[in-house]
Amino acid sequence: MSQEAVIQFFQALSQEKDLQGQLNYAFATAAPQQLIQVASENGYSFTPEELSAVLDNQGELSDQQLEAVAGGRRPQFVEFTNPDFIQAMRS
């Protein structure tokens, strides 16, 4: 692996919402306490149980997500819920 691959990954991450969603979900499930700490430092307050409830509901698709799937687009984690710490990445 090269440092260039790391740089390319972060460049892709800044542009690809699917990749951002995958990383958010992986981070939230692998390091929930760290995610809660970062959220808290940025003005968001929730418990590990509340985070877990959001992550557990990822199997439930909204109408918009169902339309995206029907159209062949892969649903994104960021579209599954509406917490502010995730919605910031939609822009």
- Residues 43-76 have pLDDT tens digits of 999 999 999 888 887 755 566 655 655 544 444 4
- pLDDT confidence of 78, banded at 50, 70, 90? very low
Enumerate the domain spans of the chain.
3-90
How many angstroms separate the CA atoms of 31 and 63, rounded? 30
How many angstroms separate the CA atoms of 81 and 25, rounded? 12
- Residues 10-28 have pLDDT tens digits of 999 899 988 888 888 889 9
